[in-house]
A and B are shown apart, each in its own frame.
Chain A
């Protein structure tokens, strides 16, 4: 039988009619990889698997949004250093340049026995290897009084996109001399310096438009990432504006009332004008649905990011419990490359190389005052372990700080090209 479009379509229709749930028809002879989540981990993994297997692996990327807004650099948008539109990226090039089947839908479940991912829009997608890179979801009731239903009044702004726009608008609309409060999250959470860079960016914004405003940082943690650098910077740039209440003063006993716009700290009620609640975090819900989590996160092998519960599923980025790497976009991108190499080697006759990881996190404290922290990592039986690290120093020259900031701009351009280009 000669195959033309008509017979192909009728065959495809016949096949799908015989199945209980309609499958998305793909080439059956090739090994199939399904990637859930099109962020720094998932987009990178999909691209590298498709590109470096030279078309020998059929890659499907499931991502609900058509325009992906990076969470990294959303603080710079809040501070007025980056345009919102420049944070948005689309998946067209991954489809056209690498032949990735991009499906804009929610992955709602994983059938690990049948090896299929079900979609909110109906149907399911079969896989030989599954890569989950769903980022974070919030732990319910971790901040009493707050729920997702309150995110319009008290934004989390911790997944990028419209929440970041909302928070910026609320800060801009604060009354003169008003109070901005942040409820910082407990460890571990996405982007360890993120809340403190955000405090810096809000302070920068207020310093220019509302200099008598106050910032109240309620923090359940004893200490935080780049603490010395941030505190030195806050003192130099925003003296008297920022008050941090740590656990020794009740920063870990906090409740909010989104209707009354109050924050209660160890029973003492404060009226606030803006309240940024960053709740405790856990692996994206699809990881929970796949039943590969232990506690809040999905434990993985440090050698190839495969799940310790199901080795045919890999978990990347924020959702993974992998050891020493911070939950960052840079980490997810680095883990995706190790995962891609391992997946290609498992499904084709390509070579596997020893895993190696790296991370750098840049933060902006004030105009041209950038700092960074970073490390290299390797795999061990106990998880990913750090081999060497660096951090910016207090007292660096303004030139060094400005250079560090410009470097972060270069990194943003590069990682976006690495993910989508």
Chain B
């Protein structure tokens, strides 16, 4: 699909929506707001599943209905119930992911400003197309080489426990409205997140500073420890 026709499709979707917020939304601003999302989600031509599923064609698609991604239980339930990513559903989820779909694996505290969310959703439509005319996804070739290299390590659980005490100064075991809980993440998700903080691809002053001194072995140890805690 050409860029022009994608924009046309996005424009027709925009026109179909009655919500005044989205009609006036600014997808260019939304692109800037998408930056933290990009650490986990790809969007646009050639997008593949990473930590989270790619977001091509998400608007008006069934929740948890994209192929090739293993969703958490709450998404499977929503899919079974026939829930759909309407504008309202996306808005509610982005405002407070853990509150809207409790148990979601998405470690993100949400965006509080309604205008910010509208701009971001406009960007998702512009870049990923609608459910009827989604941007073409790419072929999933598995985790990035950096993540795959760390997955190769057999994580030292005892060392991971010691290292994790640096995490628990800020990350509460259960819940946490203002700093997300990090327990229960699969190793791939955890490692990809830490790698993104270490490289600066995902930005946060505290996390970038702490992750910068973690070697591959230490990230693997942490992942192994957090995994062992779930059992």
- A-side residues, CB < 8 A to B, are 48, 52, 330, 333-334, 337, 341, 351, 353, 356, 358, 360, 372, 374-376, 387-390, 392, 399, 402, 406-407, 409-411, 413-415, 417-418, 421
Extra inter-chain contacts (20) besides given A392-B205, A410-B170, A414-B168, CB under 8 Å: A330-B169, A333-B169, A337-B162, A337-B165, A341-B162, A356-B163, A360-B170, A374-B206, A389-B209, A390-B205, A406-B177, A407-B178, A409-B177, A410-B176, A411-B179, A413-B176, A414-B172, A417-B173, A418-B168, A421-B173
Give the shortest distance, in Å, between A406 (CB) and chain B (any CB).
4
Question: Is A390 a contact partner of B177 (Cβ separation < 8 A)?
Answer: no
Question: Is A417 a contact partner of B172 (Cβ separation < 8 A)?
Answer: yes
Question: Is B166 a contact partner of A418 (Cβ separation < 8 A)?
Answer: no
Beyond A390-B209, A410-B177, whether A353 also contacts B169 by CB under 8 A is no
Give the shortest distance, in Å, between A8 (CB) and chain B (any CB).
36
How far is B168's CA from A413's CA once the two chains are assembled, in angstroms?
10
Question: Is A414 a contact partner of B171 (Cβ separation < 8 A)?
Answer: yes
Q: What are 11 contact pairs spanning A and B, CB under 8 A?
A: A358-B169, A374-B205, A374-B209, A376-B212, A388-B209, A392-B205, A407-B178, A410-B172, A414-B169, A414-B179, A417-B168
Question: Is B173 a contact partner of A375 (Cβ separation < 8 A)?
Answer: no
How far is B159's CA from A392's CA once the two chains are assembled, in angstroms?
32
> Given the complex, which residues of A lie within 8 Å of B142, measured CB to CB?
none
Specify the main secondary structure of chain B where it touches its partner.
loop
Which A residue's beta carbon lies closest to that of B166? A358
Interface positions of B from 4 to 43, Cβ below 8 Å from A? none
Top 3 nearest A-B pairs (CB, nearest first) are A410-B178, A410-B179, A337-B165
CB contact between A376 and one of B159, B165, B176, B213 (< 8 Å): that residue? B213
- B-side residues, CB < 8 A to A, are 109, 112-113, 116, 158-159, 161-163, 165-166, 168-173, 176-179, 205-206, 208-210, 212-213
Give the shortest distance, in Å, between B161 (CB) and chain A (any CB).
7
Which A residue's beta carbon lies closest to that of B113? A399
> Given the complex, which residues of A lie within 8 Å of B161, measured CB to CB?
52
Which B residue's beta carbon lies closest to that of A48? B165
Give the shortest distance, in Å, between B156 (CB) and chain A (any CB).
9
> Given the complex, which residues of A lie within 8 Å of B159, measured CB to CB?
351, 353
Which A residue's beta carbon lies closest to that of B218? A356
Question: Is A376 a contact partner of B170 (Cβ separation < 8 A)?
Answer: no
Give the shortest distance, in Å, between A350 (CB) and chain B (any CB).
8
Which A residue's beta carbon lies closest to that of B33? A399
How far is B206's CA from A334's CA once the two chains are assembled, in angstroms?
14
How far is B158's CA from A417's CA once the two chains are assembled, in angstroms?
21
Question: Is B179 a contact partner of A407 (Cβ separation < 8 A)?
Answer: yes
How far is B209's CA from A360's CA once the two chains are assembled, in angstroms?
11
How far is B112's CA from A402's CA once the two chains are assembled, in angstroms?
10
How far is B168's CA from A421's CA once the two chains are assembled, in angstroms?
11
Which B residue's beta carbon lies closest to that of A392? B205
CB contact between B169 and one of A372, A389, A407, A411 (< 8 Å): that residue? A411
> Given the complex, which residues of B lie within 8 Å of A356, measured CB to CB?
163, 166, 213
Give the shortest distance, in Å, between B107 (CB) and chain A (any CB).
13
> In the complex, which of the residues B158, B168, B170 has the most CB atoms of chain A within 10 Å of its own CB atom?
B170
CB contact between B210 and one of A376, A406, A414, A421 (< 8 Å): that residue? A376
How far is B208's CA from A334's CA once the two chains are assembled, in angstroms?
18
Beyond A353-B159, A399-B113, whether A360 also contacts B168 by CB under 8 A is no
How far is B212's CA from A407's CA once the two chains are assembled, in angstroms?
20
How far is B166's CA from A358's CA once the two chains are assembled, in angstroms?
7
How far is B210's CA from A387's CA once the two chains are assembled, in angstroms?
10
> Given the complex, which residues of A lie within 8 Å of B165, measured CB to CB?
48, 337, 418
How far is B210's CA from A341's CA once the two chains are assembled, in angstroms?
20
How far is B158's CA from A413's CA once the two chains are assembled, in angstroms?
25
Question: Is B213 a contact partner of A411 (Cβ separation < 8 A)?
Answer: no
How far is B113's CA from A372's CA once the two chains are assembled, in angstroms?
22
Question: Is A409 a contact partner of B166 (Cβ separation < 8 A)?
Answer: no
CB contact between B209 and one of A351, A375, A411, A418 (< 8 Å): that residue? A375
